[in-house]
Amino acid sequence: MSKRLIICEKPSVAADVAKALGASRKGDHYESDADIVAFAVGHLVEQVDPEAYDPKLKTWRYEDLPILPEVFRYEARDPRSKKTLTALHRLMKRKDVAEIVNACDAGREGELIFKLIYETAEVAKPIRRAWFSSMTQRAIRDAFDHLRDDAEMKPLENAARARSEADWLVGMNASRAATTRIGSRRGPLSLGRVQTPTLAIIVRRDLEIDAFKAEDYWQVRSSFEAAGGSYIGLWHAGSKDRLQSAAEAERIAAAATDGAARVVSVESKPVSEAPPLLYDLTALQREANTRYGFTATRTLAAAQACYEQHKVITYPRTSSRYLSTELVGQIRSVAGQVGRAGAEYERSAAFVQALDVLPLGRVVNDKKVTDHHAIIPTDDRHDVSRLGADERRIYDLVARRFLAAFHPEARSTATVVETEAGGERFRARGKVTVDAGWRAVYGATADAEPATDADDREQALPPLTEAEAVTCTAAEVLAKQTKPPARYTDASLLRAMETAGKLVADDEAAEAMKESGLGTPATRAATIERLIDKEYVQREGKGLRATDRGIGLVTALGDHVLASPALTGAWEKRLGDIEAGRGDRTAFMHDIVAFTTDTVRWFADKDRSAMRAHRRVIAPCPRCDGEIIERPLSYSCTSWKSKDEPGCGYQIWKRVAGRVITPEEALAYVVEGVSGEEIAERARAEREIVGDCPTETCDGQIIERERSFGCTSYRSKSETGCGFVIWKKPRRGPEVTLDAAREMLATGAVPQPPSRDPLGDCPTEGCGGQIVENSRAYGCTSWKSRKETGCGFVIWKKPRGGAEVTREMAAEMLRTGDFEAPKAAAPAREPLGPCPTEGCGGTVVSNRAGWGCDSWKSKKKPGCGFAIWRRQGDRELTVDEARALLEQGASELGDVA
C-alpha cells in the first residue's frame, strides 16, 4: 500500500500533525497505514562557503572579488543536521512513498527549508503543500483536506531562493570588500542587504542627537477660576506658544495676574476614533515594546509559543492586518472562545457575538491577505492558565485587539477655550468621552474625563460660556529647553524598517508603504539582534544606540546605496512581486549581481582611514587642561599617551558593574569631578535591587550583576548562599532584561530547577536505578557522591566535542539504546587580528577562555604565549573590547586608556 510522506519543520509540529492524522511514533518518525510524518529541525541545509567553490577563496583578498557562483551549492549545516537529513532522504526514497507533502512553516523560509531537503535527496516524486494558519487539530485536518498543488507554490519558492541568493551575494562580497579595504584582519566587517541600511537608520539618528544643541525657551501657564470651577491655560500668539526671552515671559505673567480676564470663545466639536487595525507581527512587536518593554525577539518567541505550543493564536509571522472573506463565519465563534478564556473578556466578547451585522469594512480585505491573515485568537478552547507571563501578555494584546476591531468608533467631545487676561491670549483644551466604543475593551468608560494636565493638552474643563468673566489666580513662567530626537527603540525602529526609513506615525499610511520595507516581519527581529551581536549597536534601557564601530562603518560608506533604506525597500517590493507571481526572479538576480559588482568596485580606492573611530568630546578634563573623549573602552583624557605615559590618569570605564555608562552619564560624572574608581564603588554599592529572593527560608534580595540577577546571600564559590540565580543569557530562550527579571519575581515565573521526573530506567544491567536530570547531566539515581558513584551511567548535557543534549534527546537515547552523543561542529576560532608579539607572525583567535595566539599548540609548546583573558577582574570582555586591546598591543585593561 502506497503512503504519503509528510515533512514538518520542527519535531513539535510533527507531533501535532501525527496526532491529527492518527499516526504513532516509530523510531525517528511517526507512521500510520496511510501516512509517514517526519521532521526537520529548522534549516538543515545551507549555502557552502566560498572556499567550496575555489580553495583560494578561504583567504580574504580584494583581488578575488566579486565571488559570483554560476550555480549555488548547498550542504548540511553540521553533523547533527546531516544525520537528520540522511534520515529524511531515506524516508523519501522508500518504495512505498508515492507522494511527499511539504508541511513546513507556511512562508518563504519554510518553503526553502523543504525544497532544499527535497533537492538534496535526488528523488522525483509528486509534491503537495499543507498550508497552516493555526495549529489546532481541526485546522491541521482542514489543511490536509485542502492540500495545494506544488506548482501553485513555485512563485513562493522563487522569492525564497532569490532572497537567499541575494543576501549571500551582497553580504559575502560587501563584507570581504569592506574588510580588505577599509577594515582589517583584526576586525572583519559584516555588511548585508538589510542589516546595513538598518544600521544606517540608527547611526543617522544618533548623529542627529550628537549634533543637537539645546536651546532655551519659556512658556507661560496661567490658572483661572470660573463660577463652575478652575482650569489651566497656556499662553499663545497664533500658532506660537514659546518665548525666546525670560523677561518677556515674566512681563506676560505679570500682566495676566494684574488685569481682568474673560472667556473669549468656547468651541466644542465631536471627535470619533476608529478601532485600530488587527495585528501583523511588526505591529504586535511594536505594541509589546511600547507597553511592556519587550524586545522584538522576545515578542516573537512568546507569539510563536502561543501559536505552536498552546494553540491560542494564529500564525504570527504574517505581514497582513486583515482577514479573508472565508473567515467571516468563524468570527463570532472565536469571540466566544476569547470570552470563555477569562472574565476580563466576557462583556466585550458577548457584545461581538450579539451583533446582527458584523462591521467588516476595516477587518476583511481579500486583496490584502496573501500567505496569511492577521494575527487573531484561534477558534478553539483557550486555556490561558498554561501560558507563561510573556505568553499571557501577548495573548491579551491579540485577544483585546480582535474584540476591539468589531466595536464601534470611540466618540468624544473636544473643547478649546480661549481666555484673555492682561491683553494676552491663553488656550485650554478639554475632552470628554461620550461613547467609549472600542476603548471599552481596554477598560475606558463613557463620561470619562482626563486628569488636569500641566501643558496645552486635554484636561477636565468646567462649564464655560463666551464673554464669561473669570479670575487669573496665578501665572507661572516655565523655563524649558528644546529636546533632541528620541533614540530608536525596538518599536520605533520596527516602524522605520517597515517604511524604509520614512517617518510615518499613522498605521494606515504605514500599511500603504509596507511592501517596500526593510526585510519582512519574520526577519526584522533577527536583523536587530544581529546588529547587536556584531557589536554595531547596543541596548541602553529600551533604547538602541550605535557603537563607535557601527558609526565608523556607516560614516565610511557615506552615501553609498548599500546604506540606503530606500534601495533595499525597493528590492523587498520586487521580492514581494516575485512571490505574488508578478515579478521575474532572473531579472532580479541580474540586478543583484550588477549591484554586487559595483559595490566591490566602489571599495577599490578606499583605505582604512575611512574607518577611524568616531570619537566624541565629552567635556574638559577636571584634572588637567586636556579633554575627556570617548574611546572604544572608556571615556578618558587626551593627556593619556600609553601605559608608560598615562597623563593625568582621569578615566571612566564604559562598562561598570555589568552596565554601560552612556556619554550623557559620563558628562555628568566629569562635571561632578567623580573619578572612575568612585563610580565603580558607587555602582557596586547601589546595585539595582530587582526584588526579594523567592527561596524559602532565605531573607536575601535579588540584585543585578554582570551576567545574572542573583541573591545577596551569595558571597563566593565556596559561600553560595541559597544559590538562587536568573541568568541574563539562559541556555534556552531570549535574553532576560531587568524588567523581565522583575516580572519573573513578581509573578513567580522564575527559572525552575531541572525536573526530577525520571526519563526512563537505567540501562545498566542489574542496576535498577532510574535516569533523572540534574544541572549538568542525565544520570542514574544510584549515584550518591563521588565516593559512592553507583553504576556510573551518565549522559552529559554538553559532551566534549559534541552538541548539547536536550531532555527530549536523552529520553530518545534511552528508548532506542543509542547513546552516541550528537557530534558538534568544531567551535569557530574567529580571528581577532595579527599577534602583536614581535617576530611571532601568528594570529590571535578566539577560544573558550578568551583570545590567544594560534602559535600555541599545547602546554609543552605554548608558542609566544600572548593571550587576552575574557574574564578580567569583576567583568567579562566583549569581542569589541578585546579587539580594541589588541589594536593597542595590550592584553589587559590596565594597559590602555
Count Cβ atoms below 10 Å from residue 874 Cβ, excluding itself.
Answer: 12
Residue 549, C-beta contacts closer than 8 angstroms, at least 6 positions apart: 187, 535, 536, 880
| 426 beta partners | 235, 419
**Nearest CA-CA partner of 803 in 826, 833, 835:** 826
Q: Would you call the peptide bond into 66 cis, given omega within 30 degrees of 0 as the criterion? A: yes
Grid cell, residue 524, equals 526584522
Location of C-alpha cell 506615525:
505
Separation of CA 737 from chain center:
12
Supply 550's cell numbers. 557601527
Q: Which of 496, 474, 453 is nearest to 201 (CA)?
A: 496
Q: Name residue 233's beta-bridge partners.
A: 222
Q: Cα(414)–Cα(100) distance, rounded to whole angstroms?
A: 62
Phi, psi (degrees; rounded to nearest 5) at 669: -65, -40
Q: In this structure, what DSSP letter does residue 427 have?
A: E
- Three cell numbers at 63? 583581488
Rounded Cα–Cα distance for residues 739 and 324 (Å) = 38
395 is catalytic: no
Q: Please list the helix, strand and coil fractions of the chain in percent, rounded to the nearest 5, in that order.
A: 40, 20, 40
Query: 704: which DSSP letter?
Result: E
State which H helix or E strand residue 97 sits in: strand 97-103
Q: Starting at the edge strand that comes first in sequence, how are the strands of the sheet with 651-653 ordered?
A: 617-620, 627-630, 634-637, 651-653
DSSP state of 228: T
Alpha-carbon distance of 543 to 532, in angstroms, equals: 12
* Closest by Cα among 696, 720, 700, 710 to 741: 710
d(CA 578, CA 159): 6
How far does Cα 49 stand from its chain's mean position? 27
Establish how many alpha carbons lie within 13 A of residue 402's alpha carbon, considering only the half-sphere containing its beta carbon. 31
Q: How far is the C-alpha of 277 from the C-alpha of 512, rounded, in Å?
A: 13
**Phi-psi label, residue 698: left if phi above 0, alpha if psi -120 to 50, beta otherwise:** beta
> Please, are residues 406 and 265 in contact by the beta-carbon 8 Å criterion?
no
Task: Give the number of other Cβ atoms within 10 Å of residue 743's Cβ.
Answer: 19
Cα distance between residue 59 and residue 179, in whole Å: 12
Spot the catalytic one: 231, 315, 395, 536.
315
d(CA 862, CA 757) in angstroms, rounded, equals 46
- Locate cell 501525527: which residue? 18
For residue 109, give the H/E element and its range. Answer: helix 108-121
Contacts of residue 267, defined as CB under 8 A and 6 or more positions apart, other chains included, come to 415, 416, 417
Query: Rounded to 5 degrees, what are φ and ψ at 112?
Result: -70, -40
- Contact (CB, 8 A) for 403 and 440: no
One-letter amino acid identity for 820? E
- Bridge partner residues of 777 (DSSP): 796
147 Cβ neighbours under 8 A, 6+ residues apart: 101, 128, 129, 130
Instruction: Give me 441's grid cell.
Output: 475593551
Q: Name, in order, each residue with C-beta under 8 angstroms of 787's C-beta and a sequence gap of 6 or more.
A: none
Catalytic positions are: 315
